[in-house]
Amino acid sequence: MTAVDDLPYFAGRPGAVFFPPALSGEIEMLNTSLLMLNFSPLPDDYAAFLSRSDGLFYDGIELYGCSSHYRESKNYKFPNLLEINRNYAAYNFFKNKLVVGRCSESIIYYDRRGNYYALADRINLRSRKEVENFAAILALLRRLCETNP
């Protein structure tokens, strides 16, 4: 299973917002910026997701992209990966990690050292679930949506 397998589920949901794909140059520039700022580089599977959609949100789920997206109709700026990770840079816990999204009151991050994605409580940072790849995170998010309609 790849991350792309679960993207149609989210794309077909009422209210889901997918942003246009990030260009390969934008993904490379983001990766360079992340490394220069001592963040974890983009995992390959997340970079592949960005080449399909430069972020998405749906029903409390947010997955961040290369660019910020201003939604004029909502007067809301959807942040990018650099903006989000700068918020966490001061905390030792986030060394070698990359926050890629959130789901309600949880954050979704990639752990470079452990080579896994995690869904963790945003307050105490305790992992609720750790999975081996981005496809598994999308599958987990899909199950959460299906059990909480």
pLDDT tens track for 93-121: 998 999 999 998 899 999 999 999 999 99
Question: What is the pLDDT at residue 149?
Answer: 58
Question: What is the band of 1 on the pLDDT scale with cuts at 50, 70, 90?
Answer: low
- Identify the CA nearest to 138 among candidates 1, 40, 22: 1
Q: What is the mean pLDDT of residues 21-46?
A: 94
Structural domains present in the chain: 3-147 (3.40.1580.10)
pLDDT exceeds cutoff 70 at 2 = no
CA angle 42, 89, 49 (to 5 degrees): 20
